[in-house]
Amino acid sequence: MRAFALASPVVLLNQPAASDTDRILEYCQDPIFERYLTVPWPYDRKHAEGFLDEFVPDGWMTDREYTWAVREPGGSELLGVIGLRLAGESATAKASVHRVGSIGFWLGAPHRGRGLIPEAQRLVADWAFSTGTIDVLHWECLLGNVASARAAWKSGFRYAGVSQSVAAYRDGSYPESWQGHLAAGDDRNPQPCWPAAALAR
Ligand SMILES: CC(C)(COP(=O)(O)OP(=O)(O)OC[C@H]1O[C@@H](n2cnc3c(N)ncnc32)[C@H](O)[C@@H]1OP(=O)(O)O)[C@@H](O)C(=O)NCCC(=O)NCCS
């Protein structure tokens, strides 16, 4: 797949570029990333460069994972990253009936709490469902990551329970995670049956 942009009045999703290296390096120093994300830790410049030079273009070229930079509409500054993983661990685990993609995302600390990821998720899901790329979108986060759970809940994901994570953590383990699914045709309003602990502010 050739990389392409998605946009709304709230957010622009386009290609991460070499000019984003410093921002990615800066934002990925956040201790929350050590706790909740699978990015390498400690995170240094070679990780940001490898992400931009290899991981992102390879993902598009092989249709394994489509990764976008999150920016303001018309803006050039990288605020965060969102990705749709189509193959590998995430897809195979539950792909017996449906084509499943997994969503992953992060924002730099100054940009959180403005609804940017719910909007970015909506854009990615709309594109992926409308093109028939996937039928079901899988979301998961490590237990305790309430901000991620609230973003998924607000986007209309149905809570699927606590299970071993589909994606490997950086130490190769598959820790317990909160999981949810959004299917093509689901309405995007917050769904019932989410546990209070996942949504506790
Ligand atoms: C998870 C994350 C991407 C959410 O994106 P977002 O665009 O901030 O999402 P929202 O604006 O809908 O906020 C979601 C929740 O984050 C929490 N939040 C709000 N402001 C926040 C801030 N400044 N810092 C941290 N969390 C905040 C709130 O609980 C909010 O829910 P609420 O608005 O219903 O109270 C973002 O918090 C983040 O980058 N976290 C660190 C990386 C991460 O955990 N990624 C997900 C891995 S599974």
More confident residue, 197 or 92: 197
Residue 92 is predicted with a pLDDT of: 47
Fold of the domain spanning 6-199? Aminopeptidase (3.40.630)
- If you compute the radius of gyration of the chain from its CA atoms, what whole number of angstroms results? 16
pTM, rounded to two decimals: 0.96
Protein residue closest via CA to atom 13 of ligand 1? 113
Q: Which ligand 1 atom sits closest to the C-alpha of 37?
A: 47
Task: Return the amino acid letter for 70.
Answer: V
Band (pLDDT 50/70/90 cuts) for residue 48 is: very high
Find out whether the beta carbon of 175 lies less than 6 Å from any atom of ligand 1.
Answer: no
For residue 133, pLDDT over 80 is answered with yes
Protein residue closest via CA to atom 25 of ligand 1? 112
Question: Ligand 1 centroid vs 61 CA: distance in angstroms?
Answer: 30
Find out whether the beta carbon of 36 lies less than 6 Å from any atom of ligand 1.
Answer: yes
DSSP 26-54: HHTT-HHHHHH--S-SS--HHHHHHIIII
Residue 98 is predicted with a pLDDT of: 78
Residue 91 is predicted with a pLDDT of: 44
Residue 96 is predicted with a pLDDT of: 54
Domain spans, the chain: 6-199
Distance CA 26, CA 84 (A): 23
Residue 90 is predicted with a pLDDT of: 46
Question: Ligand 1 centroid vs 86 CA: distance in angstroms?
Answer: 24
Neighbours of 130 (CB within 10 A): 9
What's the N-to-C CA distance of the chain in angstroms?
Answer: 39
Instruction: Find the mean pLDDT for residues 194-198.
Output: 97
Protein residue closest via CA to atom 18 of ligand 1? 113
Give pLDDT tens digits for 56-113.
999 999 999 999 999 999 999 999 999 999 964 444 455 456 799 999 999 999 999 9
Protein residue closest via CA to atom 40 of ligand 1? 106
Protein residue closest via CA to atom 31 of ligand 1? 150
Find out whether the beta carbon of 190 lies less than 6 Å from any atom of ligand 1.
Answer: no
